[in-house]
Amino acid sequence: MGTAIACASLTDTPEQRRDLLLSVIEDYDRDRSNLIQVLHMAQAIYGHLPDEVLRTISAEMDLPFSEVSGVVSFYSYFTTKPRGRHTVQVCLGTACYVRGGKKVLDTLKELLGVDVGQTTPDNAFSLEVKRCIGACGLAPAVAIDGTVYRRVAPGRLKAILGKYE
């Protein structure tokens, strides 16, 4: 596995990214058992897995497109849409929900102008819901890029988001 993904950049040309993807597929011996690894590397190269990338992987690995797209849709860590620079995760586990998590989510939807699973038009934020982010005793909780904010009141959200703009 000699391909250096750290050198890949979303500013590379489409041809450079495709060449790198083809190199990754070759490094993984075009083997069906390596499909998840190839998909991870492809997502690292492109930032997401658009249809044309899935079709390339399908053709180059001699796999049905339905199998490749099925794996992508099954695992939550793959995305077919561009992601925002920042990922906002709202906990809706029992403790967070009971303590106002739904109001926090509704306020974030309004502030960001997107629904769950969507990305803001400027690609600044993607909004997700999680069942638990491990801050039950200090609910409701929101995580942005892995930083957990506890006891989040809807009125604090604008200031929290402002740290990431």
Domains for the chain: give ranges and CATH numbers.
5-74 (no CATH), 86-162 (3.40.30.10)
What is the token pair recorded at 45?
């190269």
Q: What is the pLDDT of residue 141?
A: 97
Q: Which residues contact 92 (CB under 8 A, 6 or more apart)?
A: 101, 102, 105, 129, 130, 131
Q: Give the integer Cα–Cα distance in Å for 130 and 148.
A: 12
Look at residues 44, 46, 43, 39 and name the one whose alpha carbon lies nearest to residue 67: 39
Q: How far is CA 135 from each of CA 77, 98, 105, 139, 142, rounded to the nearest angstrom?
A: 22, 13, 16, 6, 9
Q: What is the pLDDT of residue 82?
A: 87
Q: What is the pLDDT of residue 36?
A: 97
Q: What is the pLDDT along the chain (165 residues), one digit of tens a residue?
A: 444 444 455 557 999 999 999 999 999 999 999 999 999 999 999 989 999 999 999 999 999 999 999 999 998 789 898 889 999 999 999 999 999 999 999 999 999 999 998 999 999 999 999 999 999 999 999 999 999 999 999 999 999 999 998
147-149 and 125-130 beta bridge pairing: unpaired
pTM (predicted TM-score): 0.68
Q: Give the integer Cα–Cα distance in Å for 58 and 13.
A: 22
